[in-house]
Structure 1
C-alpha cells in the first residue's frame, strides 16, 4: 500500500491569540487576471453569533506558484448594526463585474433564535467590484427588492456559502437556502420550520435579481450548484446540498435554477452528525475519458506537477509537516510554488525568499490531461464531470477529502474519497482552473481548494492547496465505481517490485523526491541536484543530506550530479533545463512509467 499523499498547503488565515477566528471560506478564480480571491468571515470567536466582518486575500497565479497579498478587511461589505456572514462571490464574464453576496444579521441574534421565534432579522446584501476585487462599492440591501413579502414566510435564510456560477446564457446564480415556516404558533411561541435549498438568479448581469423555487423533498440547507453538460448536448443544473439525514442531497433543474426536481439522497456522500458544508465544481471531461471505456489518454511528454509552499505575511510558518517554508520576519506577502507529491516532512525548511525566483524552486512530474470544449465531427459534446470536497469521517468533521463523479446525475457514480488533509476540518470551497505549462501545450486540469482545518479544532486556520485531476484519479481508492466509466485502466498501482528497462522504481524515487532543500541553501534553476539512475533521471528538491541518508543502502545505483558535471549525463546535453525537458526518462515522465503494467 502506498503512503498517503496530501497536497501541500498555504495557510491564508490563522486564529489569533486574542480569539479572533476566521471561518466560512469562499474561493473564486479569475482566469482573465490569473487571480485567486479568498474570502472568509472574521469572527470574535468561533461562534456564529460572534461573526463580525468579511475579509479577503488576493493571490496572483504565476506559472507555478501563487503570490498572496496581505489580508484586507472589506469595509464596505456591512450594514450598520449587523454582522456580515456567508460570503458568496460570483463573476460576470460578460461585463467583468465581480459580485460579493453576503447576509447581514442583526446584532448577535442567533440562527436558532430566529428558527424558534420565526422572527427573521437577516438581510440579503451585495457589494461589487469592477477591478478584480481591488476596490469595492458600497453595500446594497436587496432584501425588499428581491425577496419582498416572502421574507415573512422564512424564519431565516442564508447564502451558499462559497462561490456562485455563471451559465453560458449569461445567467448569474447564487446558491441559497431558507427555513420555511410550517406552523408559527404550534406550541405557544415555538415555530416549526423546514429548510430547503434554492437559487437567486439574474439575467440582467446583476441589475435585477429573482429567486427560484425551493428544492422539494428531503431537507436541504447549505448548497452549491454546477452547470452540467451531457454528451447529447443537453444541459442540467446540478445542486448538491448539506442535509441532516446522514448523507448529501442532490437535485436537478432543467430551466437553469428556476425550478428543481425532487431532491434525492446520495448515500455515497456521507454527512457527519448535523451535516457539514461541502463544495462542488464542474469541469469539461478530458478527451477520451469522457467516452466511456476508452481508458486514460496517453500522457503528453511535457507536464508539470504542483504542490504548495508558502511564506505567510504574518511572520509565522506554515505547517512544517507539509514541507512549507518559514518566512523572514519582514515578509509582507505569501507565495506558493507547486511541485511533486512528497511524504510529510519531519522538519520545516529554512528561510525562503518571497521573490518569484525563490518561489520557483520545486518542479516535478504530473500528467497533463487535455480538455475538449467543442463538439467533435460526430456531434459529441464534452460532458461535465464534478469534483466534491467534504470531511470524510461519518461521525465528526475530520479528514477533508475530494470525490469525483463522471456522471453526477447518478447518485451512485461518486468515487472517493482521496483525503487531502488528515485531521480536524470543516467547510471548504473549490475552484477549477486550467494550467498551460508551455506555449502550445494542451491545458492541464487542476483544482484549488480553500478549507477550514487545524490540529486541535477544525477552526484553527483556513488553508489553500492546488491539486491536478491526475493526482485525484491516481489517489482515489480502488474499490470505487471508476471502472464503470473506464477510469481505472491506467491508474498507478503502487510501488513496483522489479526494475524494468525504461521504467522507474517508484520506491527508490520516493526516497529522492522531496519538496524544498532545507540544508541551509535554496537550490534554484542553476543549482539543482538530482540523482541519475541506470535507467532514469529523478531530481531531489528537498533535503540533500536526508536523501543521501535514506538512500545509503542503494547509493551505488546513483550518481549525484551538480551543475558542474551534468554535461556528461546524458551525453550531449549542454543546458540543465534542456536536460529536464528532453531526457527520455526525466522526472516529469515518472507517472508514464509507474502507471503501467
Structure 2
C-alpha cells in the first residue's frame, strides 16, 4: 500500500477583493461523473459569519474550466438593514442525484437537488423541521460544512450543529456557542430527514465531518473547544442514529478549526491544520484501522484554514482556505496522487 501523497496541481480559484466580493470562505467539494462540484460562501460583509453572504455553486470540468452554475443569495441588492446570510452549504451525493443543504440566517434550513451533475438545480425546499426534532433548544443551526455522504445502504447523512447563543443588541446576530454536534439522515433520497445522535459530553461540539468505515459503521470527527486541543471521534453502528463510543484522538491535533474526512480504497483520509494554536500546517492523515490510529501522508500547505477533501479519477483533491495574516486571502484547489514508491 502506498505511503505518501505528492502534489501534482495547485491553483488559486478565488482571491479576496475580486469577483465582486470582499472575500471567500467555507469551501466544499464533491466529485460527479464528469466534473468536480465546488461550493463556497462569497462574503460582502465585515461581520464575520454574519452579514451579506451568498452561496456560489461551480463546476470544474476535466479540462480545468471553471464555471458558476448557481448562486443563492441577495448580496448584490442595495443594503436595506436586514440580515441576509446564506451559510454553511453542504453537498451530498445520491446516485444520479446531488443534494445541497444550506441555511439562511442560521435559523432556517433548505435543500435543493440536481439531476444533471450540478448543471441545474431545483427550487429550494425548507427542511428546518428536521432540526426541531433534536432534543436540544437552539437559536442557531447549520450543516457541516464540507460534504455529506451516501452510505452503502443508500442512507444520506449530513453532519449538523446547533447552538443556543447570546443574542446581540441589534437582535439579528447570535453567538455560535454553547453548541452541540450531530447529524441528520434521510432514507428516501432527501424527501424527509430525521434527527440522528448528538455527541454528548463535548465542549461546544460543532463543525463535524463523517466517513463510512469498511465494515459499514460511521466515523464522526468533531471540532470542539476542549482544552486538550484534539479532535473528538465518534463511532455509530446504526447509520448515525446513536453513538456506540466517543473519544479524543491524541494523534489529531487541532486549532479549533474545521477538518474534513473521506473514505478511500487506501483508508480514511482526514485533512486539517495540524497545530494546537494556529491555522498552519495543512495536512492530510490516513487511518487504516477505522480511526484507531493515524499517519501523515500529505503535507499540503504551510498555512491553511477550512479544507474539504475528495477523491476522484485516481487523485485526492483538497479545496481549502489559505490564511494571510488574520484573513483568508485565497481559496485553493490542490490535487495529489499516491506515490507508489514512498
Shorter-chain TM-score bucket reads: 0.7 to 0.9
C-alpha contact (below 8 Å) 1:41/1:51 kept by paired residues: no
Whichever structure has more helix as a proportion of its residues is 1
- Distance in structure 1 (CA, Å) of the matches to 2:35 and 2:133: 39
Tell me the equivalent position of 1:87. 89
Counterpart selection for 2:288 from 403, 406, 411: 406
Deviation at 1:191, TM superposition (A): 10
- Distance in structure 1 (CA, Å) of the matches to 2:176 and 2:23: 32
Name the TM-score, length of structure 1 as normaliser: 0.50
Deviation at 1:197, TM superposition (A): 1.8
C-alpha contact (below 8 Å) 1:76/1:136 kept by paired residues: no
Counterpart selection for 2:29 from 8, 14, 27: 27
Following superposition of structure 1 onto structure 2, how do residues 437-456 of structure 1 map, counting pairs within 5 Å? 446-456=315-325
Q: Which runs of 5+ in 2 are unaligned?
A: 76-81, 166-173
Deviation at 1:15, TM superposition (A): 0.9
Deviation at 1:157, TM superposition (A): 2.1
Tell me the equivalent position of 1:572. none
| Correspondence 1:431 to 2:310 | yes
Q: SS state of the match for residue 123, structure 2?
A: coil
- Distance in structure 2 (CA, Å) of the matches to 1:19 and 1:191: 24
Q: SS state of the match for residue 134, structure 1?
A: coil
| Correspondence 1:103 to 2:103 | yes
Tell me the equivalent position of 1:14. 15
Tell me the equivalent position of 2:244. 261
Tell me the equivalent position of 1:39. 39
What is the Cα-based RMSD across aligned positions, in Å?
2.7
C-alpha contact (below 8 Å) 1:6/1:420 kept by paired residues: yes
Deviation at 1:82, TM superposition (A): 3.2
C-alpha contact (below 8 Å) 1:221/1:243 kept by paired residues: yes
- Distance in structure 1 (CA, Å) of the matches to 2:177 and 2:14: 35
Deviation at 1:466, TM superposition (A): 1.0
Q: Deviations for 1:269-321, whole angstroms, at most 9, x for unmatched residues? A: 1112xx00000001124xxxxxxxxxxxxxxxxxxxxxxxxxxxxxxxxxxxx
Tell me the equivalent position of 1:225. 210
- Distance in structure 1 (CA, Å) of the matches to 2:124 and 2:317: 28
C-alpha contact (below 8 Å) 1:9/1:465 kept by paired residues: yes
Q: Deviations for 1:317-347, whole angstroms, at most 9, x for unmatched residues? A: xxxxxxxxxxxxxxxxxxxxxxxxxxxxxxx
Counterpart selection for 1:136 from 121, 124, 132: 121
State the structure with bigger RCO (CA 8 A, min sep 6), 1 or 2.
2
Tell me the equivalent position of 2:67. 70
The 3 A distance-change label for structure 1 pair 7 and 392 is farther
Deviation at 1:406, TM superposition (A): 0.8
Whichever structure has more strand as a proportion of its residues is 2
The 3 A distance-change label for structure 1 pair 270 and 417 is farther
Name the TM-score, length of structure 2 as normaliser: 0.85
- Distance in structure 2 (CA, Å) of the matches to 1:403 and 1:458: 25
Following superposition of structure 1 onto structure 2, how do residues 68-467 of structure 1 map, counting pairs within 5 Å? 68-75=65-72, 82-93=84-95, 96-105=96-105, 122-144=107-129, 146-148=130-132, 150=134, 153-179=137-163, 194-219=178-203, 220-229=205-214, 234-245=215-226, 246-272=229-255, 275-285=256-266, 385-410=267-292, 413-416=293-296, 418-423=298-303, 425-435=304-314, 446-457=315-326, 459-467=328-336
Tell me the equivalent position of 1:49. 50
C-alpha contact (below 8 Å) 2:6/2:337 kept by paired residues: no
The 3 A distance-change label for structure 1 pair 458 and 430 is farther
C-alpha contact (below 8 Å) 1:223/1:278 kept by paired residues: yes
C-alpha contact (below 8 Å) 2:16/2:22 kept by paired residues: yes
Deviation at 1:150, TM superposition (A): 4.9
Q: SS state of the match for residue 224, structure 1?
A: strand
- Distance in structure 1 (CA, Å) of the matches to 2:234 and 2:42: 32
Q: SS state of the match for residue 59, structure 1?
A: strand
Largest Rg, 1 or 2: 1
Aligned length: 319
- Distance in structure 1 (CA, Å) of the matches to 2:202 and 2:245: 8
- Distance in structure 2 (CA, Å) of the matches to 1:150 and 1:206: 18
